[in-house]
Amino acid sequence: MKEELFVSGRNIPNIDPYLNIWHWQIPLYLFLGGLAAGILFFAGYYTVRGKADKMQTTVKWAPIIAPIALVLGLFALFLDLKHKLYFWQLYTTIRLESPMGWGAWTLMIITPISFIWVASYMKELVPGWNWKFSILEKFEAFVIKYRVALAWVMMIYSIILGVYTGILLSAFNARPLWNTSILGPLFLVSGFSTGLATIIWISKDAKERKVLSRIDLVFIIIEIFLIVHLFMGFLAGSQTAIEAANMFLGGPFTVSFWVFVVILGLVFPAVLETLELWGYHVPKWLPPVMILVGGFMFRFIMVEAGQITRYLY
């Protein structure tokens, strides 16, 4: 048996007895970032495929949520900073080694793109919309002319944004629960799934909802596979990784993770969506709400639990 004590009375706020330096702001941002990435990706995808008219909600209406989500997410990130007035230092440096640096620059690119995308559809969404300045009219015409190119850029950046929300955590070697490269694809898939859920929720077109539900089902199944792989990887890993997994397999996060994230956030909505595809009546809002709540819980639990895991010496 080994017992280690701080005999000099160390009790630093947010560090001891276990690390808790990132609170609700980071998981909220990871959730909103993934959601925006999902919405923008599918808006771009159906534009590139030339199906903008069949998928009206996906391409034209849902993207309105993306810039709002990104701005709220950025605000959450700002709230997380402890030295707030120096936040601009993020944009005077380019550090390729720093995941957070990557994230800051990705957001700097994709947030304006999402605004431009929504703006280019303003005249269709709001009848009688007038940009008032000729330069804005010219810019709109330019964007509409090259919309497919913009859709490609948007798709690529939404993938980077979705993966980055996972990489932000997985780059920390010191936190065994996060330090797995599966986190990148897992957060990407989960983010895309929450984005799809949002579109399904607001879409009034039954055909469009059916197409999106099918894709969402595939994403949910991939996500469940990735979660199983995550734990298989941990259990085959070092002592620190096994202890990280045990927090979810009998430890303090067992119930919250398996009940709220996996069962209520993935399995139930998948079953409900399948029933809906088979023709049974399911409340339209129910599966999307479950997916969104599950997605948020997933990020919240991962951030909270990851900070508790550490190297033992």
Partner 1 sequence: MRYAMAIDTKKCVGCGDCVVACQTENNVPHGYCRDWIVESVDGTYPSLSLEFRSERCNHCDNSPCVRCCPTGASHVEEGGIVTVTHDKCIGCGACIESCPYDARYSHPEGYVDKCTFCLHRVQKGQQPACVKVCPTKCLHFGDLDDPNSDVSLAIKDRKWKVLAPEAGTDPQLYFLT
Question: Could you tell me which of 182, 215, 271, 209 has the C-alpha nearest to residue 57?
Answer: 209
Question: Could you tell me which of 304, 308, 302 has the C-alpha nearest to residue 165?
Answer: 302
For residues 16-75, which are near partner 1 according to CB under 8 A? 16, 19, 21-22
| Cβ closest to partner 1, residue 229 vs residue 310 | 310
Size, binding site for partner 1 by CB under 8 A: 48
What number of other Cβ atoms are within 10 A of residue 4's Cβ?
7
List of long-range contacts for 22-25, beta carbons under 8 Å, 24+ apart: 22/80, 22/303, 22/307, 23/80, 24/300, 25/76, 25/77, 25/79, 25/80
One of 130, 181, 238, 254 touching partner 1 (CB under 8 A)? 238
For the window 170-209, what string marks contact with partner 1 as x by the rule CB under 8 A? -xxxxx----------------------------------
| Cβ closest to partner 1, residue 13 vs residue 250 | 13
Query: Least distance (Å) from partner 1 to the CB of residue 235?
Result: 18
User: Does residue 93 bind partner 1 (CB under 8 A)?
Assistant: yes
User: Does residue 108 bind partner 1 (CB under 8 A)?
Assistant: no
The encoded tokens of residue 231 equal 């734990």
Query: Least distance (Å) from partner 1 to the CB of residue 291?
Result: 28
The encoded tokens of residue 258 equal 């398996």
User: Does residue 89 bind partner 1 (CB under 8 A)?
Assistant: yes
Query: Least distance (Å) from partner 1 to the CB of residue 242?
Result: 14
One of 68, 81, 136, 275 touching partner 1 (CB under 8 A)? 81
User: Does residue 271 bind partner 1 (CB under 8 A)?
Assistant: no
Contact call for residues 63 and 46 (beta carbons, < 8 A): no
Contact call for residues 185 and 210 (beta carbons, < 8 A): no
User: Does residue 110 bind partner 1 (CB under 8 A)?
Assistant: no
Q: How far apart are CA 287 and CA 38, in angstroms?
A: 16
Instruction: Give me the sign of the Cα torsion angle 8, 9, 12, 16.
Output: positive
Query: Least distance (Å) from partner 1 to the CB of residue 143?
Result: 31
Side-chain half-sphere exposure of 3, counting CA atoms within 13 A: 2
Query: Least distance (Å) from partner 1 to the CB of residue 168?
Result: 8
Which residues does 267 contact at the CB level (< 8 Å), separation at least 6?
Answer: 224
User: Does residue 90 bind partner 1 (CB under 8 A)?
Assistant: yes
Instruction: Tell me the Ramachandran region of residue 11: left when phi exceeds 0, alpha when psi lies from -120 to 50, beta otherwise.
Output: beta
One of 53, 82, 250, 281 touching partner 1 (CB under 8 A)? 82
| Cβ closest to partner 1, residue 109 vs residue 224 | 109
Question: Could you tell me which of 157, 183, 181, 182 has the C-alpha nearest to residue 303?
Answer: 183
Query: Least distance (Å) from partner 1 to the CB of residue 173?
Result: 6
| Cβ closest to partner 1, residue 106 vs residue 194 | 106
Provide DSSP, 150-196. Answer: HHHHHHHHHHHHHHHHHHHHHT-TT-TTT--TTHHHHHHHHHHHHHH
| Cβ closest to partner 1, residue 185 vs residue 237 | 237
Which residues of this chain interact with partner 1, rule CB under 8 A?
A: 1-16, 19, 21-22, 80-84, 86-87, 89-90, 92-93, 95, 97-101, 104, 171-175, 238, 307, 310-313
